[in-house]
């Protein structure tokens, strides 16, 4: 008999997370982990679309980090104290900060909003940044119920959002595309910062 390629275990709207705990598929842990997985897929899409070779090692490192994050978040309901799980650590945050510094050396500073877009890989990186912010929101909601998370989780997500923004700008610059600044594009005068 041919082995089944499906388990049917989720047919009633429940799934298993870290520690063997079964929860509804709309539980905060599932929502957070699912959104992390969505973000990871967008990073893979950016690589597949031919993102700059300078960005590929960074993106692959982040993809690996996101599996650490999913494991940590999946144990949020019933963390096994005696089980060593992967977590987001200070070194992960530090790596993102180094990546940001490297990219910013090739970019001009911005003091205004820019329109997301440009080349297709850059547009996907802008989209990934928005998904990263959604991961952050889902994680904050989860942390209202669970205080066991590594103190570096939210720091990591905040830095990752900044990095994806820099990556999108870098990709466009590599392809000869410059940002469309929001006030200039709509002929709206910039607000005087001294009066704001």
Note the pLDDT tens digit of each residue in 4-28.
565 665 555 655 555 556 654 556 6
User: Would you state the pLDDT for residue 13?
Assistant: 63
Q: What is the dihedral of CA 65, 68, 73, 77, to 10 degrees?
A: 180
Q: Which fold has domain 14-106+115-185?
A: Hypothetical Protein Ta1238; Chain: A; (1.20.1200)
Neighbours of 183 (CB within 10 A): 12
Q: What is the pLDDT of residues 148-193, one digit of tens each?
A: 556 789 999 999 999 999 999 999 999 888 777 666 555 545 554 4
Euclidean distance between CA atoms 180 and 162, whole angstroms: 18
DSSP letters, 15-63, are: EE-GGG-EEETTSHHHHHHHHHHHHHHHHHHHHHTT--TTTHHHHHHHH
Q: Is the pLDDT of residue 79 over 60?
A: no
3-class DSSP state of 53: coil
Confidence of residue 3 (pLDDT cuts 50, 70, 90): low
Confidence of residue 32 (pLDDT cuts 50, 70, 90): confident
Contact 77, 146 (CB under 8 A): yes
Q: Would you kindly state where each structural domain of the chain is located, as residue ranges?
A: 14-106+115-185
Distance, C-alpha 91 to centroid of its chain = 17
Contact 120, 49 (CB under 8 A): yes
Contact 74, 139 (CB under 8 A): no
Neighbours of 38 (CB within 10 A): 14
Q: What is the mean predicted confidence (pLDDT) over 109-138?
A: 88
Q: Is the pLDDT of residue 66 over 50?
A: yes
Expressed in angstroms, the distance from the first to the final Cα of the chain is 72
Q: What is the pLDDT of residues 97-115, one digit of tens each?
A: 999 999 999 887 776 667 7
Q: What is the pLDDT of residues 147-158, one digit of tens each?
A: 655 678 999 999
């Amino acid at each position: 008999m041919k082995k089944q390629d499906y388990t049917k275990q989720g047919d009633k709207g429940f799934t298993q997370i870290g520690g063997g705990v079964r929860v509804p598929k709309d539980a905060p842990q599932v929502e957070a982990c699912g959104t992390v997985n969505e973000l990871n897929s967008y990073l893979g899409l950016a690589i597949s679309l031919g993102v700059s070779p300078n960005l590929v090692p960074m993106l692959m490192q982040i993809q690996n980090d996101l599996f650490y994050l999913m494991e940590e978040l999946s144990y949020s309901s019933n963390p096994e104290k005696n089980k060593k799980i992967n977590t987001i650590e200070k070194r992960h945050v530090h790596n993102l900060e180094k990546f940001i510094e490297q990219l910013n050396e090739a970019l001009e500073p911005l003091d205004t909003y820019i329109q997301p877009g440009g080349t297709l890989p850059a547009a996907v990186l802008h989209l990934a940044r928005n998904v990263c912010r959604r991961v952050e929101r889902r994680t904050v909601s989860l942390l209202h119920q669970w205080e066991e998370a590594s103190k570096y989780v939210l720091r990591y997500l905040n830095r990752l959002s900044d990095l994806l923004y820099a990556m999108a700008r870098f990709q466009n610059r590599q392809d000869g595309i410059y940002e469309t600044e929001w006030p200039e594009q709509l002929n709206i005068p910039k607000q005087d910062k001294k009066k704001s």
